[in-house]
Structure 1
Amino acid sequence: MLSLHKITSPIVAPSFGTFRSTEVVRQHHVGYVSPREDPKYYLRCAADLMREYRRLVEQGENLTLIVNTCGWIKGMGRELLQELVSVCEPTDAVGLGEVDGVFAEILPDGKKVKRHLLEAAGSGAVVGNTGGSQLFTPADLRTLQTIAYFHQQPTSGEEDEYTPSFDFEKHLTAVPPLIAAYKGSAKVIHGVTILDTDITPDLVFTALNATVVAVKLVRKDDSEHPATQYLEDVYGENSDVTPYIPANQFDGTSGMLPAEGTVTAGLAVVRGVDEANGELQLLMPMHEDEINGWLESGYRIILCRGRDEMPVYLMWDWRDGRAGQKGRRGTGSCGGVDKMPYLDFVVGGEVTGKGAKEWKVRRNIMRRGQQRRQ
């Protein structure tokens, strides 16, 4: 996610513990853990968030904007920083570590941007740091943040939505899913897309099942939106077909859902697919009243699968004796973790589990000795 937040109270915890400290104003699902996969879309999202920030300032809100960049300062990362500086027009730039040379390249001359170098910040305390070694990697923190996000309790709108509550006693697999139709007269899901992937429509739900997807909203009356145009041109009033939108139809991997005119409501886990009845089972920290509110307000819902990481512990309850340590040795009643679809585990330094290995396809048609020499 690339997000614009209002900080409502001091942030004194790592990312997975700051849900009570910020209020989401607007957010965009980039779909990757790094901007390198789609830098063009990353910058479009950043520009859209800046427009929203400036709109709030024009309305009279007294705000100070802090832009937290990704810390990638070489090659394409440096070019992205230059573009972000152009979009955000900062008054001050704070560097963590030895980045004085980077400042000279990314900060425009004549703008009088104040430079601040915090030399000690690069070696300061980190979460769980008791002796100089980092106990939590960035991937660990992302995993914890994702788990915390999906264990939020949905609110019906009467409670304070910016003071979330959490339930970590009940595993996600024990939470009743929301049933959302993707075809028929009661259709709730109006489109699905998979970033950076070109597959046939009959494999769409195989690719979506047991993945994290973004819940995106597009207004029905936004006739200029490319996703609206595609759905109407290809599907029209036909509600009995899979609403698949190939990602390669538009500019870039995410261009078919431009930042402008697209609202990202949050994330969901596709727990299961009922193709016979045309329904998806979704796990999300959103109340059904909120979803119905979007539909009543004239929005279409489009699910977008990126490369979001699915933490194993969201879909595997380690406290369940059937899949515990006995299962790891293949003696449990479930027959071991190798029988669990979609999940992989690191056992003895080796990745195991059903589907853990990549399917490698040989693309050469002939042996090298059989090829005609030019």
Structure 2
Amino acid sequence: MKRKAEKQQSAAPVSAMSAVAARRARQQQAQAATIVKPDVVVEITTEPPSKRPRRSLEGQQITHNCEESKGRRTRSSTKQEESSPPVTRAGRPKKTLKSDQLESPSNGVVEENEDSDQEELEQEQREDDEEMAEDEVASVIGDADGYESPADTPAELQNFPLSKARLNKSNIIYADDDTMCVRIKEKTNLALLGQYDLWVKRGVVSLMGAKLHPSARVYRVYAPSTHSLPVVKCVSGVDGEAEVEIRSCKSGLIRLRDISPLYQKVWNEGNTAADKLTLKSALKNSRRTFSVLYTSADDSLKRHLRPLHLDKKWSASMKALSQRHGQLRVLVCGPKASGKSTFSRYLLNHVLSPAPETENGYINTDGCAFLDLDPGQPEFAPMGQVYLAHLRAPFFGPPFTHPSLDDSRDGQILRAHHIGATSPKEDPDHYALATMDLMEQYRSLLTRYPQCPLIVNYPGWIFGQGLEVATWLIKSLGLSDVVYMSEKGPVEVVEPLNMAANEARIPMTILPSQPTDFVSRSSAQLRSMQIQSYFHLSHPSGLTNPLWSGAPLSRTRPITVDYAGEKQGILGIMVLGSHISPAMLREVLEGAIVGVVAVESPNAIMATATGSTDEPVDDDNEGDIDADEDVEMGSGEQQVDGAASGSIADGILRTPEEDLPYLCVGAGTSVPLNPSASNCLGLALIRSVDVKSRKLELSTPIPSSRLHDAIEQGHELVLVRGQLDNPNWAVSEEYYSARAAERRYQKSIARGKKSSHSAVGQDKQNETLAILRERIRRASNVPWMTVVEDNSRRHREAVARREKSLWRLRKKAYPASESETDW
């Protein structure tokens, strides 16, 4: 035994040395084989967030054995780093990025050359686009307030069935480079990715909850990869088939990928097998704005695509709720990421289905009212608002495809209130007052449209004080139904809601949550996409659908508003959330997003400061707190009472240097405007404060007609600075636009070299490239933005380790968790 032990001890150093030597050899081999050029990535430097989410697992190697010890996992991951190149989320080898091959043209159409070398170049270009988008999405915008994307998605899950129908010569009626008309058999469906116009010619099809009958109406559909894909399903048809025409459309939304990495890898890229079948008679280089996919493996970018299907209980519940017709008043609530917005969108489309008539002869001619109480992820408005919308037709697409209803033929926002935050918990009293004012507006709407149903979308703020507000709304809104989107409880939430419903004598339906198992964008990133879409949206006269501009906001002409003098265009500026010294008001405003609020009464602040007896109060648990709040508001009223004297202008202070009109109450604090005397017109981005000319430079998509109407009615305009996310996307737009311009020009040079008649000389090309690169240099040299040369995984891990030492609060990565945070 002694001899055996001595033999093992003598052999141990040899094996250790051999392992070290092998590891060094592998490392040297990997370094010699792969030389990675450093990437250029933009990082926005902002203040530390109030919450630190858990770092995304994207970019790390997948560990299959979860029961290994920590040391063994570390050795395994180190060995994988040294022996294998980085991999993408789908498990494919990650390619080296090239500075001159990173992005597709702004028009979203990649021109294909008959030469095989050109096709290979463009294929390599698309693959490089994928990697660039993945890296930049993870590094440019933070991941606060969102669930992370799982990194351990097996590659075989990509082959997921999407369409039940298959295109062939018998069901393709006609097709060209822009349009295809097909027949879909009953109980089969067709999934499409991209943007398209849908025209139902025969039969009845369902799409995102709506049943579309044959008519002359053409519906615009947006199907990005960031959300589950809508499917066109045949419900009934002539001879068992429905006939639909699908047509390409140009909305300009694809241009936003030139100014934001969040919009990259969103739409369809190459033609699928089904597209090639319908494009046989068209031009060889044809590319539609949509693609038909049979499975997720048909996607050239190998994204994690899933069809948008409803749970059977969801379908049954929507059918039962729609039977109430004009008497429907339903509140949809539940925990975060449970499918509330999806269910509300489906129910809204189902109610607005333009069917000629139902079985009992009911025809919906009054539209549908949509009360959106979720300021974090609103459906038809930018973040930070609660509003009441009157809709007349279904909408097909996620919120960032309809961020505003201004000048829309299918609906309008009747009234909105600026909360100034993504969660109502910042000021529950103001939130409750705004809700009651919107309900009064709905009652006024019923005098003109007595059969107009109502759908109320409540946020995921369902715990603690949010539960108290929800139960109070159930008791006071005069609802007909309550829908709770989780069968897993918890009991401490379901029981109070059920008791409130029983007290109001209305039924409560509990449905299973339907969260997605994979997300490519976090909640914060979707908010950034929506508000960026909002600021680049326009509704040109004469067009039925909106258009988006791909030009950075810095290259658009701002709106100048006098804030002092005889032509003063705004009454004052408010700052919500905390006390701001008047000397710091300019620094707080420049580069911030503000709400443009029309004040309808000079007593707007007085009415808010005096409080309201309609506020939700829990006598058992929150009585002392509410009493203290009443005392504080009462003391504020005493301070303002002598100064306001019935006029909001008397509460305005002028800053000493800039002469800005600072609207505050008491000791510098701003009380929110009374919702019954104010109305939010939209959002604006303050680009600069010109002290010399006493002007504000603003960028806003609010139609000038709305501003003129408010002024003609005698309303004063107030800018409200809340606690919304910083517009990091606006800071980096010019940089990404400059890079996109350079890449497009380099691709045009590459195409010119393939042709025999190049019209541009080498000197002219070098001169143009120098100008484009100078534009990139200037765009990268701006405040609050840093260009990082090294965006490797090790660099990101080092940054994450430094940040981890500062923030300990982590979000759970799955929506079905019992608690929202994990300490």
Q: What TM-score comes out, normalization by structure 1 length?
A: 0.77
Q: Is the 8 A contact 1:178 1:288 kept in 2?
A: no
Deviates more, 1:4-13 or 1:163-172: 163-172
**What amino acid is the match of 1:233?**
D
Query: Is it true that 1:122 corresponds to 2:538 in the alignment?
Result: no
The root-mean-square deviation of aligned C-alpha atoms, in Å, is 3.4
CA distance in 2: counterparts of 1:299 and 1:351, whole angstroms: 53
Offset from partner CA, 1:333-370 (integer Å, 9 cap, x none)? 64785x42245789644899xxxxxxxxxxxxxxxxxx
Higher helix share: 2
Aligned pairs (5 A) from 1:116-195: 116-119=509-512, 121-123=513-515, 126=516, 132-153=517-538, 159=541, 165-195=546-576
CA distance in 1: counterparts of 2:653 and 2:578, whole angstroms: 24
Deviation at 1:165, TM superposition (A): 2.1
| Aligned pair partner of 1:105 in 484, 487, 496 | 496
Query: Is it true that 1:226 corresponds to 2:605 in the alignment?
Result: yes
CA distance in 2: counterparts of 1:270 and 1:351, whole angstroms: 35
| Aligned pair partner of 2:473 in 73, 84, 92 | 84
Query: Secondary structure at 2:675's aligned position in 1?
Result: coil
Query: Secondary structure at 1:42's aligned position in 2?
Result: helix
Q: Is the 8 A contact 1:31 1:308 kept in 2?
A: yes
CA distance in 1: counterparts of 2:508 and 2:490, whole angstroms: 9
Q: 1:344 to 1:211 in 2, by over 3 A?
A: farther
Deviates more, 1:62-71 or 1:84-93: 84-93
Query: Is it true that 1:298 corresponds to 2:714 in the alignment?
Result: yes
Quick check: which has more Rg, 1 or 2? 2
**What amino acid is the match of 1:13?**
G
| Aligned pair partner of 1:31 in 389, 411, 420 | 420
Q: 1:12 to 1:231 in 2, by over 3 A?
A: same
Query: Secondary structure at 1:23's aligned position in 2?
Result: strand
Query: Is it true that 1:4 corresponds to 2:4 in the alignment?
Result: no
Q: Is the 8 A contact 1:322 1:334 kept in 2?
A: no
List gaps (5 residues or longer) in structure 1: 127-131, 326-330, 353-374
**What amino acid is the match of 1:341?**
P
Query: Secondary structure at 1:144's aligned position in 2?
Result: helix
Greater RCO, CA 8 A, separation 6+: 1
**What amino acid is the match of 1:213?**
V
List gaps (5 residues or longer) in structure 2: 1-384, 607-643, 744-773, 800-823
Aligned pairs (5 A) from 1:233-272: 233-234=650-651, 241-246=659-664, 255-272=671-688
| Aligned pair partner of 1:198 in 579, 592, 604 | 579
Aligned pairs (5 A) from 1:275-354: 275-317=691-733, 318-321=736-739, 334=777, 337=780, 339-343=781-785, 348-349=795-796
2:227 counterpart residue number: none
Deviation at 1:10, TM superposition (A): 1.9
Q: Is the 8 A contact 2:475 2:504 kept in 1?
A: no
Q: What TM-score comes out, normalization by structure 2 length?
A: 0.37
2:156 counterpart residue number: none
Offset from partner CA, 1:173-192 (integer Å, 9 cap, x none)? 11100000000001101100
Deviation at 1:254, TM superposition (A): 6.2
Offset from partner CA, 1:300-328 (integer Å, 9 cap, x none)? 11000111223422232212149999xxx
Query: Secondary structure at 2:454's aligned position in 1?
Result: coil
Q: 1:310 to 1:165 in 2, by over 3 A?
A: farther
| Aligned pair partner of 1:13 in 363, 380, 397 | 397
**What amino acid is the match of 1:214?**
G
CA distance in 2: counterparts of 1:14 and 1:300, whole angstroms: 34
Query: Is it true that 1:64 corresponds to 2:64 in the alignment?
Result: no
Q: Is the 8 A contact 1:208 1:270 kept in 2?
A: yes
Q: 1:324 to 1:86 in 2, by over 3 A?
A: farther
**What amino acid is the match of 1:122?**
Q
Q: 1:83 to 1:172 in 2, by over 3 A?
A: same
CA distance in 1: counterparts of 2:428 and 2:460, whole angstroms: 14
CA distance in 2: counterparts of 1:254 and 1:122, whole angstroms: 40
| Aligned pair partner of 1:47 in 413, 429, 436 | 436
2:172 counterpart residue number: none
CA distance in 2: counterparts of 1:200 and 1:344, whole angstroms: 29
Percentage of matched positions with identical amino acids = 25
